[in-house]
């Protein structure tokens, strides 16, 4: 079976978000972060290439964290105060992410890979 690779972009609902790997030095020394979500066109998630190369829990955490920023943006959660509506948005987003998105195979690979 072919091992899934991180796609160049993620499609969620009407959004196409490019995934851009940057050097560890740029991620930490310039912006002091492991990843970032940018909603201005072209939508982009910037990720620390060293963390992504590890393909472990840290990889999964950073990727999901940044994708949840997309959820916040997509569902306009800054306008919502009711807990049930916020929880529904994240549940719907996560279900879509793990069942229909073009990154699901990579995420499943990370979740099922034997971690050292």
| Threshold 0.85, pTM exceeds | yes
Res. 93: pLDDT tops 80: yes
pLDDT of residue 115: 56
- Domain-located, residue 99: yes
* Number of domains, the chain: 1
Chain segment 105-114, per-residue pLDDT in tens:
999 999 988 6
Parent domain of 59: 9-112
3-state secondary structure string across the chain: CCCCCCCCEEEECCEEEEEEEECHHHHHHHCCCCEEEECCCCCEEEEEHHHHHHCCHHHHHHHHHHHHHHHHHHCCHHHCCCHHHHHHHHHHHHHHHHHCCCCHHHHHHHHHCCCC
Tell me what the mean pLDDT of segment 33-40 comes to: 90
- Domain-located, residue 107: yes
Tell me the C-alpha distance between 19 and 64, whole Å.
12
- Domain-located, residue 1: no
- Domain-located, residue 4: no
pLDDT of residue 106: 95
């Amino acid at each position: 079976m072919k091992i899934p690779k991180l796609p160049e972009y993620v499609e969620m609902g009407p959004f196409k978000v490019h995934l851009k790997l940057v050097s560890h030095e740029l991620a930490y020394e310039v912006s002091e972060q492991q990843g970032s979500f940018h909603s201005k066109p072209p939508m982009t998630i910037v990720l620390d290439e060293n963390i992504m190369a590890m393909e472990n829990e840290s990889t999964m955490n950073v990727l999901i964290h940044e994708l949840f920023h997309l959820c916040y943006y997509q569902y306009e959660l800054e306008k919502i105060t009711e807990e049930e509506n916020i929880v529904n948005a994240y549940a719907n987003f996560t279900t879509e992410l793990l069942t229909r998105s073009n990154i699901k195979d990579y995420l499943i690979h990370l979740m099922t890979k034997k971690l050292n």
